Amino acid sequence: MKYKQLGHSDLKVSELCLGTMTYGQQNTADEAAEQLDYAVAHGINFIDTAEMYPVPPKGETQGLTESYIGQWLARQKRDSLIIATKIAGPARGYDWIRNGPQVTRAHINAAIDDSLRRLQTDYVDLYQIHWPDRNVPMFGQTAFDPYAERETEPIIEQLAALADLVKAGKIRYYGLSNETPWGLAEFCHVADKAGLPRPVSLQNAYNLINRVYEYGLAEVGYRENVGLMAYSPLGFGMLSGKYQKNMNGSGRITLFPGFGQRYAKLNVAEAVEAYAGVAEEVGVSPAVLALAFVRSRWFVASTLIGATTMAQLQENISSLNVNLSSDTMAEIERIHQRYPNPAP
């Protein structure tokens, strides 16, 4: 396992980060603990969660993921682990989170206190805004709509509240998630102007069928020294091979109708089939190929992996043993040119 510095922070994170969004929905507390033990035993020191988890989000399960991690974390050496969680952004229908989550000072303070209680810890190493407070295209949307503008908390106010959490010792650093190039650059600019801490990380989707990060965010991340935490490296399981030829694979897309709609778009199935062919030529599983590709990218600080079974987790971690050749990377590029970003 290699460890990389996360942005300009002093956090040295494992190149694989354990995602936990299934804990409390598809995984029990005992199964979560088994996964966490296995991940740590194999060198993973970075664990990511969110107040909204598990997914799909529901009032009756909200917060269970953090609680399961907290039960496990209470038995661990805390300073050997890097724990990341997130505050939910504005969302319709999420009334079970503070009567509708926002990214205001009051919501930030309430959210971090609730997360710390569930996680059974005095601090989190990385606190992230799960998605922007302002109007942006998200989760499969691709076009900005100025007519969808709404009242939003000014970035300076969000930054000031996060800075106070750093001063209070409740968080060490903060990051962003599901952000745009303008948003990431603006957070850095406003922070510098006000003399407040900058974001150290960005958690955005990045995988073989969604490489949008490369087009604008990669430059911002490089110039502002913000590390990418690449989530959904398997494209909601599409790149694992379990949905090939049909949609009967056992996973979130089939278990929860309407979930992961970006993966039902034009050319997704064709691209997935093409990448599976490359994996066959290399002699690895489609999942291992997909993870090895993401891990190889110069801008990726850590690749988030998640699993519902131990077999899946073991396969994901085994991808560390695979480094793709220049010929394989060239073939991946040829497929990308044929099917550019079918699931943005």
In this prediction, residue 260 carries a pLDDT of 59
Residue 131 confidence (pLDDT) above 70: yes
Residue 117 confidence (pLDDT) above 80: yes
In this prediction, residue 273 carries a pLDDT of 96
Is the model more confident about 98 or about 245?
98
Task: Provide the β-strand partners of residue 82.
Answer: 46
Residue 136 confidence (pLDDT) above 80: yes
Q: Which of 137-151, 155-169, 236-250, 284-298 has the lowest mean pLDDT?
A: 236-250
Residue 128: half-sphere exposure toward Cβ, Cα within 13 Å: 28
C-alpha dist (Å) from residue 114 to 63, 207, 209, 258: 9, 32, 36, 29
Residue 110 confidence (pLDDT) above 60: yes
Task: Provide the β-strand partners of residue 202.
Answer: 176, 228
CA distance 293 to 228: 14
The helix (run of H) or strand (run of E) holding residue 205 is strand 201-205
**Per-residue tokens: 290:** 């997909």
Compute, in degrees rounded to 10, the torsion defined by CA atoms 38, 40, 44, 49. Answer: 90
CA distance 168 to 63: 23
Question: Is 127 known to be catalytic?
Answer: no
The helix (run of H) or strand (run of E) holding residue 230 is strand 227-231
- Give 43-100 pLDDT, tens digit per residue: 999 999 999 999 999 999 999 999 999 999 999 999 999 999 999 999 878 999 999 9
Report residue 247's pLDDT band, with 50, 70 and 90 as the boundaries: very low
- pLDDT above 70 coverage of the chain, percent: 94
Average predicted confidence (pLDDT) for the chain: 94
Closest CA to 311 of 6, 113, 34: 34
What is the average pLDDT across 105-124? 98
State whether residue 12 is helix, strand or coil. Answer: strand
Name which CATH class applies to 3-238+293-324: alpha beta
Q: Give me the catalytic one of 3, 38, 53, 275.
A: 53
Q: Provide the whole-model pTM.
A: 0.94
The helix (run of H) or strand (run of E) holding residue 271 is helix 268-282
DSSP annotation string for 192-214: HHHT-PPP-EEEEE-BTTB-GGG
Residue 238 confidence (pLDDT) above 70: yes
